[in-house]
Structure 1
Amino acid sequence: MSANLISLLVLLPVALAAILAMTGRRQPGLTRALNLAGVVALLVVSAGLLIAGTGDTPQVIELGSWAAPFGIVWVFDRLSGLMLLLTSIVALLALVYAIRRDEDSAGPHFHALFQAQLFGLNGAFLTGDLFNLFVFFEVLLLASYGLMLHGSGRKRTRAGLHYVVVNLVGSTLFLFAVGALYGTVGSLNLADITLKLPHVEPDAVPIVTTAIFLLFTVFLIKGAAFPLYLWLPGAYGYASIPVAALFAIMTKVGLYSVLRVDSVMLSGNTLGGVIDTTALIAPWLLWLGLITLIAAALGVVAATFVRRQVAYLIIASVGTILIALGLAAGSERDLAISGALFYWIHTTVLSAGFFLLAGLMVRHRPQQGDAIAPAPPMPQAILVGSLFFAYAIAMAGLPPLTGFFGKVMILSAALESPLLAPVFAVVLVSGLVMVIALARTGSRIFYQSEATPGHPADQPPAFSGTLPGMGTTIAPMLVAAVMVLGAQPLSTWLEGTAAQLSQSSDYLDAVMPDGVLLPDSAPGKFGKDYDGGHH
């Protein structure tokens, strides 16, 4: 039964994408209902699987009953389940907002592209094969190209062009990395590559090392890490509001790939029996995280409108998570990973909500939109302003909200690191800089109002009821409140997730129960050439 439900997480979006492409504008009510029902179904299934403990032991689905490494496999564990749940939550927020604000009608294929995007995302989180990771990357990127241009506009088109070019370069590099790995190792199944790395011939070690670095470069391009992050502020800042909210999960695909490949393939392994791959990537991740966080904090200060500021906050979260993943090579691996995942949940949901809040400003400040400049008061300015400052406090990592808990866990993991001083300095100072920038933004938008004929500067226009889309803007803050109240059980569960990632022998045993076919083995003969895992 669980195998069918896991398969549904990939098969339902692709089926709905095909159906919604046919209904489109001809039956808008049915199109909206089908899309909304599909997203709710994905949310219920992904949450149900995690609650039932399905991912406590990695679950492997062999497509067409072809065993790994020859067949395609999907792997559901705690990490992939968490990412699937986060995707469904963000998708539901974005879709409800789009329907409530009638922003889905700006293009004929919004709903079909929306489900195609979910198909690519869910497939990327479930696949256990590097080539199929590339395929799902391309699916979600193709869908995102269409969503990026939803609603048209010159600035949006220009930002979309930059987005396409950068990601096409990343896709090309991905193919080079995959081809080099397949040519030297003879496999693209992640578990199979893991088991074969110690047996790589000495003359192939430089090629494999280059392919690994190239692979992680691609992941960091997708994740918007320094210095390849400049595509993100424009792409996210000029996308339509619901699309920008959905894109909050996009950078996490690159970070997920970094964590998955590093924890399964590199950590605790050797290359050619001579190179310890545990610390092959982690030091680079730590330094890139520090530089990314500094650059993002400066971007938050320099931003001229709220959506661009939120985009830089997403880049800041990428830097923070990379710092945690870099610290995972130290003695506090489980604490670093669990802290990264706690912060991961926080920033994904709240950055999506922050984009939705910016959408209210765009709609109800017609003269200035979400520009960081004084404007006539908007309806329900007190409520919107209060939400803005709540989001600002949370995203900057101040107590008592969720960003503070995640940062405390990450900084605790840094206590035994030789880079303790720069990690603390960058994380704390960048947080202070972002707090100051966000406080300035809130003050200029909500406290420096301009007078208009018939309306004093300190009196917002009369407005009864609630702003459309306000519920989806408040919902992420409710998620943050639940995370604060349930911080202890959530952090305990995440520690278990980190432990599962650290003990990748369970993953290897689930995917490759018969071991690995070595290059010098007899044809067709598998050997149990490992001791249940490389940890």
Structure 2
Amino acid sequence: MNHWLIAPILIPLVGGILQAFMGYAPIALRRTLGIATTTLTLASAILLMGLANDDSYRLYAFGNWQPPFGIVMVLDRLAALMLVLTSVLALFAHIYSLGGADGNNRQFHGLFLFQLLGLNIAFLTGDLFNLFVAFEVLLIASYGLLMHGEGKNRTVPGLHYVVLNLVGSAIFLISVGMIYSVTGTLNMADLAQKIPQVAPGNLPIVQAGGMMLLVVFGLKAAILPLCFWLPSAYANATAPVAALFAIMTKVGIYAIIRVCNLIFGEQAGDLSGLGMDWLFPLALITLVMGVIGALGATNLRKLFAWQVIISVGTLLAAISLNSERGTSAALFYLVNTTWVVGGLFLLADLISGQRGTASDQIVTAPRMRNRTFLSVLYLVGAVAAAGLPPLSGFFAKLLILDSAVPGTVRTWLWLVMLVGSFFTLIAYSRAGSIVFWRNVEGHLEEPRKLTGTIAVPASALIALSLVIVVLAEPLSRYVDSTAAQLHNPAAYIEVLKTPMVEEK
């Protein structure tokens, strides 16, 4: 066993516990500890990506219990990619919070680290029940972060978010109970072995449990019709929280990729491809709904929140192709959209501070003081999000379009994605032209100062779209190998044979 596997879990856990006891400590100390913890988490995630790059699976069994018993963490290419993706986003969002967003809640940094803890457990766990536990950890933290601040605008969407996710948690628990009642296990590798052996009389129970799991993951991913809670919740969260929440829907997508390829993959017999027939049309409808929402957005935060839903539809459309090329393209797009949308949420807050009472509303207002800098950031982010050349979003969408085999599915995918991208561009163009160029007389007397603490994180996340272009070849190789690993579940099942260290 490699003890480094639990570093991305232990580091935010210890940091979060320390923050819980430091509520009345000087804010400078809390901030220093918070950033140090997030930085160490990123360092450990990069280390694990280096370990996973050899295509092998690594397992950590708590208490030295031989799998499938006990709590196990499994590291592969996908888990490592998600850890790095999350840690980079979290670090920049956390730095941005030092600009004042953390000032109204003494437990902000603790909640932030506990959410990071839940995310990392979700990506590393090799057990369905522990995935449920991870969801609960990150959701409890997200409840506090979402309500961070004051006012009805946050309370009502936060209440909807809490209620829907509590319902989802209940369905999750029922579904894993149904699956366990038949298979006697919730270890993912063990389930991959036992699902094909389920007796015909028990197939409906496992099938119902599996479909309920997909409903829960669909709720987490915000797929239609389970997506209407997201725009208001994300748009009313504080900027660093909304930026971190850009990864939240990807947890549901990660779970769909993992479960559909490992447990209900081609080797699952009668349960092979469970729910995949529904996934493609729902993904396209979700994409269309996201575009419609973006066209009707009244402020920048809502526009970027609908972009999250557009990205969910795009990702699931690629995943539902159920091919290595589709999965690889989806992972490439996932990296781009997560960082860019996170940066756009931070940018919306920067723009809001320059426009007085107009805030980030898509209305005319006096010309802002830092218009050139902010408009360039907006242009880069909008181009990357809409999928225009020469930025990373274009290459990601091109890979998705190219991954579909000729036929009806390809026709629908090309039609919806290309038309959707065109109208997404219109939505961004409309918002940008009004906010940056249609100005009224006068100017804001005291705009918010663009200090390095807030300007650098927003710029860095959006600029990562340029970095992805520069590193497109190594990133493509990595996601290609990740997709190949995911579509070979037999190798994952071998973790059950990992020898445990004998006690001396």
State TM-score, norm by structure 1.
0.91
For 1:5 and 1:463, locate their aligned partners in 2 and report how far apart those are by CA, in whole Å: 42
Match in the other structure for 1:519: none
Q: Deviations over 1:135-185 (max 9, x none)?
A: 110010000000001112111000100000110111011011011001111
The count of aligned residue pairs is 499
Q: In structure 2, which of residues 470, 476, 491 is the aligned counterpart of residue 491 of structure 1? A: 476
Equivalent positions of 1:389-408 (< 5 A) are 389-408=379-398
Structure number with bigger Rg: 1
For 2:187 and 2:312, locate their aligned partners in 1 and report how far apart those are by CA, in whole Å: 27
Match in the other structure for 1:238: 236
Residue 431, structure 1, aligned to residue 421, structure 2: yes
Match in the other structure for 1:70: 69
SS at match of 2:369: coil
Q: In structure 2, which of residues 365, 368, 374 is the aligned counterpart of residue 384 of structure 1? A: 374
Equivalent positions of 1:75-94 (< 5 A) are 75-94=74-93
Match in the other structure for 1:325: 319
Q: Deviations over 1:170-215 (max 9, x none)?
A: 1011011011001111111111111011211111111111110100
The ranges of structure 1 where at least 4 consecutive aligned residues each deviate by more than 6 angstroms after the TM superposition are 459-465
Residue 409, structure 1, aligned to residue 399, structure 2: yes
For 1:481 and 1:270, locate their aligned partners in 2 and report how far apart those are by CA, in whole Å: 41
Whether contact under 8 Å (1:290, 1:423) holds in the other structure is yes
254-263 or 55-64: bigger deviation: 55-64
Q: In structure 1, which of residues 188, 197, 200 is the aligned counterpart of residue 198 of structure 2? A: 200
Q: CA deviation at 1:51?
A: 2.8
Residue 304, structure 1, aligned to residue 337, structure 2: no
For 2:156 and 2:446, locate their aligned partners in 1 and report how far apart those are by CA, in whole Å: 35
Q: CA deviation at 1:55?
A: 6.1
For 1:168 and 1:415, locate their aligned partners in 2 and report how far apart those are by CA, in whole Å: 39
- Aligned partner letter, 2:186: L
Match in the other structure for 2:460: 475
Identity %: 41
Change (3 A) 1:407 1:54: closer
Whether contact under 8 Å (1:174, 1:214) holds in the other structure is yes
Q: CA deviation at 1:27?
A: 2.3
Change (3 A) 1:36 1:467: closer
For 2:103 and 2:59, locate their aligned partners in 1 and report how far apart those are by CA, in whole Å: 39
Match in the other structure for 2:339: 349
For 1:227 and 1:355, locate their aligned partners in 2 and report how far apart those are by CA, in whole Å: 24
Match in the other structure for 1:129: 127
Whether contact under 8 Å (1:391, 1:477) holds in the other structure is yes
Match in the other structure for 1:153: 151
Match in the other structure for 2:248: 250
Q: CA deviation at 1:418?
A: 3.2
Q: Deviations over 1:356-403 (max 9, x none)?
A: 000101222112100001111122101101111111111011111111
Whether contact under 8 Å (1:47, 1:85) holds in the other structure is yes
Q: Which runs of 5+ in 2 are unaligned?
A: 500-504
Whether contact under 8 Å (2:287, 2:309) holds in the other structure is yes
Change (3 A) 1:116 1:168: same
Change (3 A) 1:39 1:209: same
Residue 447, structure 1, aligned to residue 445, structure 2: no
Match in the other structure for 2:502: none
SS at match of 2:2: helix
Q: In structure 2, which of residues 321, 324, 327 is the aligned counterpart of residue 334 of structure 1? A: 324
For 2:11 and 2:244, locate their aligned partners in 1 and report how far apart those are by CA, in whole Å: 18
12-21 or 132-141: bigger deviation: 12-21
Q: CA deviation at 1:461?
A: 8.3
Q: Which runs of 5+ in 1 are unaligned?
A: 515-535
Match in the other structure for 2:286: 292
Match in the other structure for 1:359: 349
Cα root mean square deviation, aligned: 1.7
Whether contact under 8 Å (2:52, 2:80) holds in the other structure is no
- Aligned partner letter, 1:508: I
For 2:154 and 2:228, locate their aligned partners in 1 and report how far apart those are by CA, in whole Å: 15
SS at match of 1:75: strand
For 2:244 and 2:396, locate their aligned partners in 1 and report how far apart those are by CA, in whole Å: 22
- Aligned partner letter, 1:448: R
Q: Deviations over 1:489-510 (max 9, x none)?
A: 2111110111111111111002
Q: CA deviation at 1:473?
A: 1.2
262-271 or 173-182: bigger deviation: 262-271
Whether contact under 8 Å (1:267, 1:279) holds in the other structure is yes
For 1:465 and 1:142, locate their aligned partners in 2 and report how far apart those are by CA, in whole Å: 32
Q: In structure 2, which of residues 273, 281, 287 is the aligned counterpart of residue 279 of structure 1? A: 273
Q: Deviations over 1:103-137 (max 9, x none)?
A: 11111110110111011000010000000100110
